[in-house]
Amino acid sequence: MSKSPLTADDLSRFRWVDHVRLSPSGDRVAYQVTWADMEARQNCGRVLVGPAEPGVPARELGADVSRDHSPEWSPDGTRLAFLSRRGARDQLVVAPADGGEAVVLTAIPDGVSSPAWSPDGRLVAFLGRVLADRDAVVDDPRSPEGEEQTRRPPIARVVRRLDYKRDGVGYLDGRYPHLFVVAAGGGEPRQLTAGAWSVGGFSWAPDGRSLAVVGDAEPGADLRRTQRLYRVDLDGARRSLAGDLQLSTPAWSPRGDVIAVLAPVDEAGGRLQRIWLAPAGGGEPRCLTAGLDRSVGGTVGSDMRGEHGVRLRWSATGDRLYFQASGPGIAEVLSVDLEGRVTVELPAQRRAVYDFDVEAGRIAACVADATRPGEVFLAVDGEQRRLTDANPWLRDRLVVEPRRHLFTAADGLEIEGWLFEPPGFDPSRKHPLVLEVHGGPHGQYGWTFFHEMQMLAGMGLLVFCTNPRGSDGYGEEFRRACVRDWGGRDYEDLMTALDQLIARTGYVDEERMGVAGGSYGGFMTNWIIGHTNRFAAAIAMRSISNLVSEFAQHDIVLWSEMEMGPQPWPDPDELWRRSPIRYVRDIRTPLLLLHGEMDLRCAVSQAEELFGALRLLGREVEMVRFPGESHDLSRGGRPDRRVERLRRIGSWFAGHLLGREAERPAGATAAGE
């Protein structure tokens, strides 16, 4: 039987495993499985629990609700805390690990996140989004218009701070995430922090009397990039322990003497995330991974999941920290001792680890590669065993394993790339090609699954992706090489790699090439077509067109100075020279702009500005807007909109590179029809 290629409609068939957690004894594993429900037009999920052994099926835990996720084991291994979609938002639930009735512990209208058990198992801490600044919003007192709303839109929003919005969350309306604790058996949650500031992460002290909290509760916090580390007691008393770094991800040592945190060494753009140890009693933090030229965390991009939080996991004895680290096209699990000596614990050859846990000498990890969206693996004494088979249906599809290539930039720098060859590929004839550009700019492509690329390859296109300078995975100097130089040597790297691929292979049809990218990749797509006419079609997703207007427009305003340079007032020349809109009269390539209307990272006005200019100039341009969708549309948006996005991509390249029109969804029309 011949296998069929992947299509946009296959989105509903994927099952995504994530958030793996080992029981304290290491003999059981809990994880979440999510999927796109096209009929309900929402993302659904369940928590699964099973033996940490291959071939033994896991069972579902929880109630018949739309989505359960983010399981965490109790210290004695008898219960699991997890998040459950109740109405419009997630609430905290505790259930027996062996089955039984679940107890709903919260009913906070704007929802909760990040459950964590106290060391004695009596309490569960969590973050709840609550009204903390009543002057920032004039609420509508009427009941919500539907079950999917927590409240009606406010009568008015009053903005006095830069941090009034957050992509994927929306407008904060005076509501901030704060720290709560609640009895694991039920009771009234107790709020430990308050005020117009956000708790960015927390960790229990081993004695269970305090929690380490990252945030900035001081005046003027919205004008600082740094965060503070606080100690918060169960009575709400707060004491500052450390500051002056961009702190995140606290993890209190089992010994109680230090708290591990993540931070770059300074506020310069493109710096690597490093592990620091802060004295639990207060004092100057010490950088533990100063000698490791790799970023802590997993930065290999995929359209199977959104941005993933970084995890720091102490050994039971407190003498070693486990963490993810990104390498060239990969992400793996490493550990570091208290002297800064690093060990590779779970190597990833042609794979990317995107979540993990450590218990009783075992490592459980969620691992993806170029042909699998993700599976749960267990590592014991160096032996790796696969515990799940989440997507067996893929064995009946044409899934392409990309070929790795290395290229040499003009200054001798080595650039890594991958080429997806279409099914039935014939190297003796010419083939159309799509160049894909990743976001970040400090993300990277690598050995992980990409539905969009598989779909394009299945249509008969070569798909080429590279990691130009600025990408993560190749050390800090490489990562910082595009700071204040967007559209400079990074652009040259992309064109040089493409030229070398064309010369090396001999089968790229240079008359039928396309380019596409999202976020920074969308900026680069817009930049490319303003500086060369070699591409027959382009797609810019959640893109940037004007660095001057974008500078103070998005939800991470202070990031702009780190990455772009000084504020553009009163002299906008530097940013204007690197703005794609400046070169709009040179754009002749047919352009499709895809953008979420609630994208607060790269505002939809960036697409509007470029669309309007090109339309006024009489160029071929189309804009597709997705109502209510954030910057994360391609990875976590509403399922029908994710499918529509993929169909639009396929249709645009089919028409311009293959000379045919891809199937549009029933009832859909192009913009302006």
| Active site residue ranges | 519, 631
Answer positive or negative: Cα dihedral of 443, 444, 450, 454: positive
Residue by residue, DSSP assigns 617-629 as TT--EEEEEETT-
Pick from 354, 357, 400: nearest CA to 374: 354
Q: What is the DSSP string of 296-349?
A: BS--B--SSS------EEE-TTSSEEEEEEEETTEEEEEEEETT--EEEEE--T
Burial of residue 485 (CB within 10 Å: 0-12, 13-18, 19+) is middle
DSSP classification of residue 401: P
Contact of 32 with 19, CB cutoff 8 Å: yes
CA nearest to 336, candidates 347, 325, 326, 328:
325
Report the chain's C-alpha Rg in angstroms.
Answer: 25
Strand partners, 462: 433
Peptide bond into 5 cis (omega under 30): no
CA dihedral 432, 445, 583, 462 (to 10 degrees): 0
- Residue 276 sits at φ, ψ, to 5 deg, of -125, 155
Which pairs with CB-CB distance under 8 Å and at least 24 residues apart come from 144-148? 144/88, 147/87, 147/88, 148/88
Strand, helix or coil for residue 589? coil
DSSP 535-579: -SEEEEES--S-HHHHTTTSS-HHHHHHHH-S--SS--HHHHHT-
Query: Cα(115)–Cα(107) distance, rounded to whole angstroms?
Result: 14
Spatial CB neighbours of 612, under 8 Å, sequence gap ≥ 6: none
Q: How far apart are CA 206 and CA 61, in angstroms?
A: 28
Measured distance CA(83)–CA(72) in Å, rounded: 10
Q: DSSP labels for 244-307?
A: EE--EEEEE-TTSSEEEEEE-SSSSTTPPPEEEEEETTS---EES-TT--S-BS--B--SSS--
DSSP state of 371: T
